[in-house]
């Protein structure tokens, strides 16, 4: 019969181009799986991938983001609110979220703020929502950003990162307190009578959690707590605070709240002739790529930013599938990386 159909050209309407839903129907998968295949995600089984690619070929499908949004009700775009910083932690968190979103078949739209105050965070979330993103991830390591989360309008799927235990929305965080406890305990186990701490800025939630972990480890061991020193995350502040430390002769161990400040401290100790680790042992936090090449290579606490990103996207997609915003908090463990900046305390 002339003009006969194979029955597999278009599962939908004959007079319109095929859309992602048609591919999904023909391949017997979800539209998310089709999106993952189109974005070359590794998280699709081989036979499923071939089935989707075969359906794309049969239908001569060409991705169209507008059509996708009309059919699925989603733009397949996730918004991220971050802030303009070159600090390793926030920058690596952003990379982890981007990679996880792409693996799930989503594009990412980033709004970078100069400051994380209540007004700017709320404005950024609403602007992203007005652009049609399916959900928003807010990187909120400062207390002012967390306050903004309490005033989000309903109906906006939101997940936050490092917003602390009082976050009013679903949150993913690294176990900052546990990592700090492990760093401090490592130094105590080496026989150091106590451990000094160079902390980050007080308005950073991560900095305060690391202080709490340091104090908890000292208290558990019955060790005295030295005066707290405050830096600003920079190598310069670690260098300057090192001047204070070397004026105290009984300092033998220091836990530093990030690797950059630890680098500054190492530089100062080298300049004044105090050997690390023979005279002063040092542990950092973050495990930046350069930490293994410090002199000496730095013992530090590693954060799994890739896992943070995966957990964020998982929570956000869960909100898209469910009717409510569950107040779920996910904690990602840390890992203590042992190198050559720590050693047993010298007998006195």
Q: Give the DSSP per-residue string, 258-273.
A: SHHHHHHHHHHHHHHT
CA dihedral 99, 100, 105, 106 (to 10 degrees): -80
Per-residue pLDDT of the chain (348 residues), as tens digits, is 333 333 444 455 556 778 778 888 999 998 788 878 876 677 788 889 889 888 888 888 876 655 555 455 567 889 999 886 778 888 898 899 999 998 888 889 988 888 778 788 888 888 888 888 989 999 888 888 787 888 887 778 889 998 777 787 888 999 999 999 999 999 999 999 999 999 999 999 999 999 999 999 999 999 999 999 999 999 999 999 999 999 998 999 999 999 999 999 999 999 999 999 999 999 999 999 999 999 999 999 999 999 999 999 989 888 887 655 566 889 999 999 999 999 999 865
Give me 196's structure tokens: 């000094």
CA dist 325 to 48, 145, 328, Å? Answer: 31, 19, 9
Q: Report pLDDT for 168.
A: 79
First to last CA, the chain: 100
Q: Report pLDDT for 277.
A: 96
Contact assessment for residue 310 and residue 100, using Cβ atoms and an 8 Å cutoff: yes
Please tell me the distance from the alpha carbon of residue 155 to that of residue 339, in angstroms, as a whole number: 47
How much is the pTM?
A: 0.78
Q: Report pLDDT for 182.
A: 98
Please tell me the distance from the alpha carbon of residue 110 to that of residue 122, in angstroms, as a whole number: 14
Please tell me the distance from the alpha carbon of residue 220 to that of residue 217, in angstroms, as a whole number: 5
SS3 46: helix
Contact assessment for residue 171 and residue 161, using Cβ atoms and an 8 Å cutoff: yes
């Amino acid at each position: 019969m002339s003009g006969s159909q194979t029955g597999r050209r278009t599962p939908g309407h004959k007079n319109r181009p095929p859309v992602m839903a048609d591919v999904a129907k023909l391949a017997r998968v979800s539209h998310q799986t089709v999106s993952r295949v189109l974005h070359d995600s590794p998280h699709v089984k081989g036979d499923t991938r071939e089935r989707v690619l075969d359906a794309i070929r049969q239908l001569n499908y060409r991705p169209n983001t507008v059509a996708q949004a009309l059919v699925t009700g989603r733009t397949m775009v996730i918004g991220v609110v971050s802030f303009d910083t070159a600090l390793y932690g926030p920058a690596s968190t952003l990379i982890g979220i981007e990679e996880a979103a792409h693996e799930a078949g989503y594009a990412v739209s980033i709004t970078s703020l100069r400051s994380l105050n209540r007004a700017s965070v709320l404005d950024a979330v609403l602007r992203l929502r007005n652009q049609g993103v399916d959900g928003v991830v807010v990187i909120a390591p400062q207390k002012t950003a967390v306050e903004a989360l309490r005033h989000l309008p309903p109906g906006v799927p939101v997940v936050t990162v490092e917003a602390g235990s009082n976050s009013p929305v679903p949150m993913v965080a690294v176990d900052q307190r546990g990592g700090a406890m492990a760093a401090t305990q490592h130094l105590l186990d080496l026989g150091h009578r106590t451990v000094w701490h160079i902390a980050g800025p007080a308005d950073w939630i991560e900095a305060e959690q690391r202080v709490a972990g340091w104090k908890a480890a000292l208290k558990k061991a019955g060790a005295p707590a030295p005066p707290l020193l405050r830096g600003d995350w920079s190598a310069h502040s670690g260098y300057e605070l090192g001047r204070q430390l070397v004026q105290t002769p009984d300092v033998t161990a220091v836990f530093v709240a990030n690797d950059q400040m630890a680098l500054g401290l190492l530089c100062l100790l080298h300049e004044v002739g105090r050997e690390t680790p023979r005279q002063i042992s040092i542990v950092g936090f973050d495990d930046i790529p350069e930490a293994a090449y410090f002199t000496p290579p730095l013992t530090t606490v590693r954060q799994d930013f890739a896992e943070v990103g995966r957990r964020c996207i998982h929570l956000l997609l869960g909100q898209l599938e469910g009717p409510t915003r569950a107040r779920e908090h996910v904690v990602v463990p840390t890992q203590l990386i042992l190198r050559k900046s720590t050693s047993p305390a010298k007998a006195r």
